[in-house]
């Protein structure tokens, strides 16, 4: 996901590195899966068609929460006990492991918007405001969230996106099987140096099996599983 301006370096030059080739293959498979199977809660696309390492992501605020109607881009400012402070003191290894993928990370964010975890908040001030709202009906937390939702509406309008505001709109049925594969961005047609068609298995199937995520009482299974 992009958290700043796109890199001016040549994206294809990165693929000369074998490790980057492996990462690109994994990202290619994830992006193909997300684009083939409609996924509720967010949208994802490449910032530039020739660069698999920068994604533009928008998360929809879950219905029946304070975030309902919100349209949060990857470069975003969401008041939230778990995610608002980037300097939380956690090591990278505590935030990432090889069994995670783009889908699981995004669904984890959506899950936290439904049920914030105040046991180990990254933003203590936001956590205190949340508990005051939850336990005592204090309105400061609610006011800030709703202001953020309103501030996000122009972004959705500029992108031509209708943000779902009901569970009926938010939840999507699995689409019918496609007879023909949709056209891929140019980077997805890149001819990698190795054998080509076999999927890249960077962990065992058992280790890499993504867990179901529960959102608003519904069990969500990652695309392709």
Residue 84: pLDDT band with limits 50, 70, 90: very low
The fraction of the chain above a pLDDT of 70, given in percent, is 56
List, for residues 17-30, the tens digit of each pLDDT value: 666 788 788 888 88
For residue 186, give the DSSP letter. G
Per the CB < 8 A criterion, the answer to whether 76 and 61 are in contact is no
Q: What letters, b where the CB count within 10 A reaches 16 and e where it falls short, cover 130-142?
A: bbebeeeeeeebe
Count the Cβ atoms, other than its own, within 10 Å of residue 4: 8
Mean pLDDT of 7-11: 52
Helical H runs in 115-195? 124-136, 140-159, 167-170
> What pLDDT, in 10s, does the model give residues 23-63?
788 888 888 888 777 677 898 888 888 888 888 889 999 99
The CATH architecture annotation of domain 15-81+101-170 reads Roll (3.10)
pLDDT confidence of 143, banded at 50, 70, 90?
A: very high
The tokens of 184 are what? 């891929």
H/E run at residue 29: helix 18-36
Residue 128: what pLDDT?
94
- pTM, to two decimals: 0.63
């Amino acid at each position: 996901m992009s958290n700043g301006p796109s890199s001016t370096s040549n994206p294809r030059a990165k693929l000369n590195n074998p490790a980057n080739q492996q990462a690109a293959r994994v990202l290619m498979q994830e992006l193909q899966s997300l684009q083939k199977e409609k996924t509720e809660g967010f949208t994802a696309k490449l910032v530039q068609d020739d660069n698999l390492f920068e994604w533009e992501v928008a998360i929809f605020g879950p219905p029946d929460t304070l975030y309902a109607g919100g349209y949060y881009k990857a470069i975003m400012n969401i008041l939230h006990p778990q995610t608002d402070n980037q300097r939380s003191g956690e090591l990278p290894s505590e935030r990432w492991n090889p069994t995670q993928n783009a889908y699981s990370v995004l669904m984890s964010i959506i899950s936290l918007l439904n049920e914030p975890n105040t046991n180990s908040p990254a933003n203590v001030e936001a956590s205190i405001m949340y508990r005051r709202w939850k336990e005592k009906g204090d309105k400061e937390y609610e006011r800030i969230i709703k202001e953020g939702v309103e501030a996000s509406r122009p972004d959705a309008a500029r992108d031509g996106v209708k943000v779902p505001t009901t569970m009926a709109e938010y939840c999507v049925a699995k689409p019918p099987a496609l007879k023909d594969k949709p056209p891929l961005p140019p980077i997805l047609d890149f001819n990698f140096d190795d054998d080509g068609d076999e999927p890249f298995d960077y962990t065992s199937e058992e280790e890499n099996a993504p867990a179901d995520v529960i959102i608003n009482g519904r069990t969500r299974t990652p695309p392709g599983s």
